[in-house]
Structure 1
Amino acid sequence: MRNRGFIMFIATLITITSLFNISFSWVSSHIQSKATEYATDQNGEIDHFKKQVYLDSIWTEPVYNLGIVNYTYEEVKNKELSRGLDLQGGMHVTLEVSQKEIIEALAKNIDSGFENALHQAEQLTRENRKSFSQNFFSSLLEINPDNSFSYYFANALNKEKITLSSSNATVVNYVNSEIDGAVDSAYDIIRNRIDKFGVTQPNIQRVKGSNRITLELPGVDNPQRVRNLIQGVAKLEFLEVWSHQDALTHMYKVDTEWTKKYGSKTSSVEKTVDNSLFHGESEDNVAIQETEKDVRSPLQKSISPYSFIYLLSDTSKVNQVLNDESLMSILPSNMKFAWSHKSFTTGQGVNCIELMVLKKGQEAKITGDYIADATQTYGQNNQPVVSMSMNIEGTKKWKKMTSENLGSRIAIVLDNEVYTAPTVQSVIDGGRSEISGDFTIEEAKDLGNVLKAGKLPAPTHIIEEVVVGPSLGDIAQSDGIQSVVIGLSLVLLFMTIYYAKGGWIANAALGLNIVLIFGILAELGAVLTLPGIAGIVLTIGMSIDANVLIFERIREEQKKGISILTSISNGYNRAFSTILDANMTTLFTGIFLYTFGIGPIKGFAVTLIIGILCSFFTSVFVTRLIITALIKKKGNQFQFNFETKFSQRLFRKMNFDFLKKRKLAYFISSGIIVLGLSALAFKGLNKGVDFTGGRTYVVNFNEKVIPSKLESSLIKYVDGKSVEVKTFGNDKTLKITTSYQIENESPESDADVKQRIITGIADFTQLDFSEDAKATSTTFVIPSTSKVGASMADDISISAQKGVLFSLGSIFIYIWFRFRKASFGIGAILALIHDTLIVFGAFGIANLLGAGFEMNQVFIAAVLTIIGYSINDTVVVFDRVREEQSNQWKKTSLDTSINNAINNTLNRTVITSVTTLLVVVVLLIFGGDALRSFAFTLCIGVVAGTYSSIFIAAPLVYDISKKTIKRKFSMA
């Protein structure tokens, strides 16, 4: 074996490095166990706060001593192998930075045509695949063809980049560049906010070529807090407040105009609340009273004579007035309205909220740009507040502003909500101010962090969200580990029974393969997800293939009477090209999965790619190193066998005419495909929320709930829109999916849909919703939620199609290049299409029988994996055909070569399929509900791939080649 010393050095170095990387996970796990033990009481209950206090106390303490270097617990956590949200719970979010607001901010001149173009662009962006800016500029050109784009965007501030004479193309490039810069800025600000939030190992990435940012936040147990943190623009303004009497004078004018427009349309009976709510009168006098035809505008229905305070239930009516441009045009141009950040309850239990009337200029006198620091402290009443200090310029402006407004109110406004509006009692010259607002400590800390990180250049919207509770993460992790252990054990046992001592060597290489995979994942900072574990389990099955190829070649050489060392050398050399081709085609699948995959599919792809590379290295180089070293140490007489009495009897002297049965195989395949696609057409694809968009809720109960009955009950709560309820893992856990309000991706819509689902479940089951981790006899819980917006669903669908098409294209080109004949490439692709159609057909039949499998991202990953697996099988047969055809001493016809190739590789094909099926069936049984459709798809795919490599792919090459030859003769 050449370069034996170098290979041994590389193998040793990689192994030691991998074990070192994995050791941080072992240390972290040990510390977590100690923390759990410390926080567990006598009844076995874990105090999670106490556990966190313990971990915080050792955060900066050395916990891992290697003699020459010490690592603190913080460093250990940063170096351990990261687990995905599906294994430990947490939150995944995809944010979209609003291009509309960025474009509006960049524009100097905004006319009705410009606003119409913005509105039209919003509509088009929902319908086509173009970006908002592309749709905006095409709409603007259509609406205002006479105005150049520079008319709207050129101004003194950007004169170095564009002028009034700039071409439309130059302006478009400028705007797109500014949008790109704004997204980069938003990414940096959100990263700063999350860093201060205190999440361990957050993964924040900007999606290249888009205005999207993805966040993976492990261990998050307060999703709403995260939503507030990442979606708030943090636009801070200090604004003067209109006196109540002055504002009231102008609002009377609005009331008069409103009465003219709408007064006659009001009902004859209106419900009002007496002003005595704020005069301490009796409860009888403050009751809601009915009066004859109250024609006042909602703006005049304040329940306080001293400020504009409204019933919380009336805010939507007041907002209708505030959004009426014809009514607002009556008011002074420097008057704007903003609601208080929080509502309050009066002594009589009435929920109210204050509307502030603010003085606005072109920009606020003081903004968040002048804030030097913001921290959570405590106010005069020992309540949490945010204390702010200003920079030098801000201090001067604050002093001037307070001196000009003695005795008047100044509102501190954040994202158009008034947090506090104190009356100025004296001039403030220290540059300090305070935001109060009935905060919790966490809210005050988050607000301080947001202000320090800076304001976002534009609003962000959550278009995809997944929340996984820690209990579901623990179950998924347990199922995943169980699948790996059982699958690995079965493969190890099988290899030992079939290949004797050779099997032990293959098992050792497989163990090293797993160590390398985990070590490299940790080194790269990759995240191990549940699909990633599935990738490892699949790699266990597929990595055996290379050893099987090598061992079968060695057995062939030994049967010729060749010495053991020569047999080993010939076996490895002859199997090398086949192994290389098989791994390369599977590698293409992994690469395109990574390129086009989103979220957990990327984790699967990373694991698959690393697994392929590691298995190639361990199977081709490490096993040969071990076998050669053993034989040289023991001598040539050392009996190193690669078969047992059991394996000696199998597949001996195979000589079946497979080509003769090809038409029967074509007929059987056609029948299965037609049957499956018919079932699919009848039942439908059952697309998951990944492809349709929607919101999903996993609900835990203490007792069994019948899904069909709950589904029928829930329909009325979502206005008759689509809702699906099915069991998830067991009959006490249900998965509820609805498309209600999927076009509306606002936080308000998210809250509304969730509340409707909760109300519907509560009414049907007579149980209460609880925020606790476990359901009880009187409560139900929602440990996991997810949302995929319509635009995100479209992207996932397009990405899936690209993944499949690019995989097929690259495989065709590679096989054509390697085998020098288009017939091989065409035969391989047709066989892959055959396998894919059978999988889709089986999917349809299973759903027709009530399996309820969803077509989602994980399903597409399984299909792409099947493509890689099937081409692996096919390439092995093709490689033997090429060998048969290139044999100078034994000229054979194509049909004989194909039959010989299939018969000679049948042993390897069946053994590889059996080992792969062992681990896939384990996934199907023990992998949990999250991987059930994935494992089912792989089971069907492995069987279909094995069948097609024998009866479809090579026979198709024969038929295509035969027709090509006939065509050449006819042309001659």
Structure 2
Amino acid sequence: MLQIDLWKRVTIWLVCVIGLMLALPNAFYTRVEQANDAVAELVTKGETQERLEIAGQWPGFLPSGLVNLGLDLRGGAHLLAEVEVEDVYAARMTALWPEVRNVLRAERATVGTFRRQQGPDSELRVRLSNPDGMSRALQVVRELATPVVTLTGAGANDIEVSASGDVITIQLSDAEKLASDDRTVRQALEIVRRRIDEVGTREPTIQRQGADRILIQVPGIGSASELKAIIGTTAQLTFNPVVGRGSDENAVPGVGNKVIPSLDEEGVYYTVESAPVVTGEELVDAQPAFDQNGRPAVNFRFNPAGARKFGDYTAENIGSPFAIVLDDEVVSAPTIQSHIPGGSGIITGNFTIEESTNLAVLLRAGALPAELTFLEERTIGPELGQDSIDAGKVATIIAFAGVLVFMALSYGLFGLFANVALIINIGLIFGALSLIGGTLTLPGIAGIVLTVGMAVDANVLIFERIREEIKAGRGPAKAIDEGYSKALSAILDANVTTFITAVILFVMGSGPVRGFAITLGLGILTSVFTAIFVTRLLVVMWFERRRPKEIEV
């Protein structure tokens, strides 16, 4: 009959209270958001009176998780970028040249002298003075090849080496190009994510689209140009041997060299070797600091491999200059005074404190492996976002009020019980979104509005079943018990199929579709819980107190 164990009653009310407590911060969204930001700044930037006051706007003993607002609600920037994967081919050939030079130098007695030749960026061409040694040259160069580490490229090598007359041509194999393209896009995706995370934006959407494109959506940022400035800065740091210094921008650098300007000295140009000694990819840390003269600078530290290469180079080239190159500009070109074994150093220049801090952030995030071409950019203003929020609120309130009135008129007191459960249901949805850190989008609001309508379906099935039992002559207690037990299978069937649809939408969809699927799926779970457990508990508590001889539904 109508009996619910005490532990079940406590569990039901505990779930409701916890869910509503988790949803509570969303009723004070701006205040809680400001308090959360202040708490984060207290950790990263230290205590100030202003930060302490803002952090105190929301009690620390209450939950502070918020439902993140999506791009269409908060406003922000949308970018679609294409990764220029071909750039990596040229970089690979440039990095391979020192290795090819070393192995050929060891075979100079057989191959004679050799010189790098001009050619496409994706190829490395070397001319031998002694064509009779070509077979040996091909053999030692091919030994530099390594297997392609992918399932599709199994059994293939990363480079292809061929000869034409006295010229060796080296290029990436087709299997390696495919693998390289995939790695490049993945690396670019991760670096873009790290750079945006460093700035502290909320819930950005950064995902791969197709073979070589990246979708970037960041709520709350001022404009698309601001977002491009964050992710489009290359911040590529290299340490290159210096060949010469002069004032002629158009000087012929020679094969394997390049001419780049000085960052601080106007009209000064350095000729450096294209192949760097160490790159920013081998950095493990970069922090803003001050040099011995109290000027802003950046301290850096290499990983063990980079530290070893840096230490070997400085040990072998004491008295020679080397260039610290940032984005194809020479930041400084000091002379190596002694062996630097620790793998750490400092970048000095005419930086402001803000510039040194930003440079450290970009260096920690790493260099983009290839250039990004922005195919699409949109700035969604906060006014448009506020319009979406207001429209969503109106739609939700109208739907909510309409359902409440219908249930009260159709089922009387039992309809009021269903309405209480419906209010709890909405609170549980927002509590669950806050708990999992979900993002609410405009389609997500549509999912909530749909849930409001669907949430009473289970109660309608139960109440109609109770009506039928009363018409069949059952007593009040028996009618209520039979109504809940016999309607349960229909409720579960209907909601399980809808939940499966929501899961498929989430797995197969992206962006707005996922936002709709999340709120729909959570709404189904909370609706079933409130209909089967909360409404029944309210009815049982009322029945135990009143003990009516007959009931009207």
Deviation at residue 607 of structure 1 after TM alignment = 0.3
Superposition pairs of residues 858-877 of structure 1, within 5 angstroms: none
1:158 corresponds to 2:153: no
Deviation sequence 1:233-277 (CA, Å, 0-9, x none): 432123436444787664xxxxxxxxxxxxxxxxxxxxxxxxxxx
**Match in the other structure for 1:404:** 320
Which residue among 200, 207, 228 is the counterpart of 1:198?
Answer: 200
SS of equivalent to 1:536? helix
1:84 corresponds to 2:56: no
Deviation sequence 1:547-604 (CA, Å, 0-9, x none): 2232223223323333223333333344334333332333343223222322232112
In structure 1, distance between residues paired with 2:479 and 2:31: 47
Deviation sequence 1:164-202 (CA, Å, 0-9, x none): x97459987776566555555444444433333233x34
Q: Is the 8 A contact 1:366 1:398 kept in 2?
A: no
SS of equivalent to 2:513? helix
Superposition pairs of residues 120-131 of structure 1, within 5 angstroms: none
Q: Is the 8 A contact 1:90 1:469 kept in 2?
A: yes
Residue correspondences, number = 483
1:548 corresponds to 2:460: yes
In structure 2, distance between residues paired with 1:65 and 1:443: 35
1:64 corresponds to 2:66: no
SS of equivalent to 2:506? helix
In structure 2, distance between residues paired with 1:481 and 1:247: 61
Deviation at residue 528 of structure 1 after TM alignment = 1.5
Greater shift, 448-457 or 211-220, is seen at 211-220
Superposition pairs of residues 52-451 of structure 1, within 5 angstroms: 56-57=51-52, 64-66=59-61, 79-93=65-79, 97-102=83-88, 156=144, 158=146, 167=155, 180-199=182-201, 201-203=202-204, 206-207=207-208, 215-221=216-222, 223-239=224-240, 240=242, 242-244=244-246, 250=252, 332-338=254-260, 356=269, 358-361=271-274, 363-369=275-281, 371=283, 373-376=285-288, 386-391=297-302, 393=308, 394=310, 397=313, 403-405=319-321, 412-415=324-327, 417-418=328-329, 420=331, 424=334, 427=337, 432-434=345-347, 436=349, 442-451=354-363
Superposition pairs of residues 498-897 of structure 1, within 5 angstroms: 498-637=410-549, 639-642=550-553
In structure 2, distance between residues paired with 1:226 and 1:589: 35
In structure 2, distance between residues paired with 1:592 and 1:396: 56
CA RMSD of aligned residues (A): 4.8
Q: Against the structure 1 CA distance between its residues 606 and 355, is the aligned structure 2 distance closer, same or farther, given a 3 Å change threshold? A: farther
Q: Is the 8 A contact 1:241 1:356 kept in 2?
A: no
**Match in the other structure for 2:17:** 16
Deviation at residue 212 of structure 1 after TM alignment = 5.8
Q: Is the 8 A contact 1:98 1:458 kept in 2?
A: yes
SS of equivalent to 2:411? helix
**Match in the other structure for 1:689:** none
Letter in 2 for 1:453: A
1:484 corresponds to 2:472: no
Letter in 1 for 2:386: D
Letter in 1 for 2:71: L
Q: Is the 8 A contact 1:18 1:516 kept in 2?
A: yes
Q: Against the structure 1 CA distance between its residues 486 and 577, is the aligned structure 2 distance closer, same or farther, given a 3 Å change threshold? A: same
Deviation at residue 518 of structure 1 after TM alignment = 0.9
In structure 1, distance between residues paired with 2:461 and 2:146: 66
Q: 1 or 2 for the larger relative contact order (CA 8 Å, sep ≥6)?
A: 2
Deviation at residue 499 of structure 1 after TM alignment = 1.7
Q: Against the structure 1 CA distance between its residues 593 and 449, is the aligned structure 2 distance closer, same or farther, given a 3 Å change threshold? A: same
Q: Against the structure 1 CA distance between its residues 92 and 57, is the aligned structure 2 distance closer, same or farther, given a 3 Å change threshold? A: farther
Deviation at residue 612 of structure 1 after TM alignment = 1.5
**Match in the other structure for 1:274:** none
**Match in the other structure for 2:382:** 470
Q: Against the structure 1 CA distance between its residues 533 and 104, is the aligned structure 2 distance closer, same or farther, given a 3 Å change threshold? A: same
**Match in the other structure for 1:493:** 405
Letter in 1 for 2:513: I
Greater shift, 393-402 or 499-508, is seen at 393-402
Deviation at residue 507 of structure 1 after TM alignment = 0.3
Q: Is the 8 A contact 2:31 2:58 kept in 1?
A: no
**Match in the other structure for 1:811:** none
- Structure 2 length normalisation: TM-score? 0.70
SS of equivalent to 2:456? helix
Q: Is the 8 A contact 1:366 1:397 kept in 2?
A: no
Q: Against the structure 1 CA distance between its residues 516 and 398, is the aligned structure 2 distance closer, same or farther, given a 3 Å change threshold? A: same
SS of equivalent to 1:234? coil
Q: Against the structure 1 CA distance between its residues 2 and 233, is the aligned structure 2 distance closer, same or farther, given a 3 Å change threshold? A: farther
In structure 1, distance between residues paired with 2:352 and 2:248: 35
Deviation at residue 492 of structure 1 after TM alignment = 1.2
Deviation at residue 605 of structure 1 after TM alignment = 1.2
Q: Against the structure 1 CA distance between its residues 93 and 419, is the aligned structure 2 distance closer, same or farther, given a 3 Å change threshold? A: farther
Q: Is the 8 A contact 1:386 1:447 kept in 2?
A: no
- Hey, which of these two has a bigger chunk of helix by percent? 1
In structure 2, distance between residues paired with 1:447 and 1:83: 30
Deviation at residue 413 of structure 1 after TM alignment = 3.1
Letter in 1 for 2:460: V
Deviation at residue 370 of structure 1 after TM alignment = 5.9
SS of equivalent to 2:255? coil
In structure 1, distance between residues paired with 2:347 and 2:502: 54
**Match in the other structure for 1:880:** none
- Hey, which of these two has a bigger chunk of strand by percent? 2
Deviation sequence 1:117-165 (CA, Å, 0-9, x none): 99xxxxxxxxxxxxxxxxxxxxxxxxxxxxxxxx9x9753635969xx9
Letter in 2 for 1:82: N
**Match in the other structure for 2:31:** 30
Letter in 2 for 1:557: E
Deviation sequence 1:665-724 (CA, Å, 0-9, x none): xxxxxxxxxxxxxxxxxxxxxxxxxxxxxxxxxxxxxxxxxxxxxxxxxxxxxxxxxxxx
SS of equivalent to 1:336? strand
Q: Is the 8 A contact 2:289 2:298 kept in 1?
A: yes
Q: Against the structure 1 CA distance between its residues 183 and 55, is the aligned structure 2 distance closer, same or farther, given a 3 Å change threshold? A: farther
Q: Against the structure 1 CA distance between its residues 155 and 211, is the aligned structure 2 distance closer, same or farther, given a 3 Å change threshold? A: farther
Deviation sequence 1:414-446 (CA, Å, 0-9, x none): 34x326456x58958886443546x66544422
Q: Is the 8 A contact 1:187 1:206 kept in 2?
A: yes
SS of equivalent to 1:451? helix
In structure 2, distance between residues paired with 1:184 and 1:59: 39
Q: Is the 8 A contact 1:35 1:55 kept in 2?
A: no
In structure 1, distance between residues paired with 2:246 and 2:357: 33
Letter in 1 for 2:319: S
SS of equivalent to 2:271? strand
SS of equivalent to 2:551? coil
Deviation sequence 1:767-796 (CA, Å, 0-9, x none): xxxxxxxxxxxxxxxxxxxxxxxxxxxxxx
Deviation at residue 635 of structure 1 after TM alignment = 1.6
SS of equivalent to 1:456? coil
Letter in 2 for 1:550: I
In structure 1, distance between residues paired with 2:324 and 2:488: 72
In structure 2, distance between residues paired with 1:222 and 1:436: 30
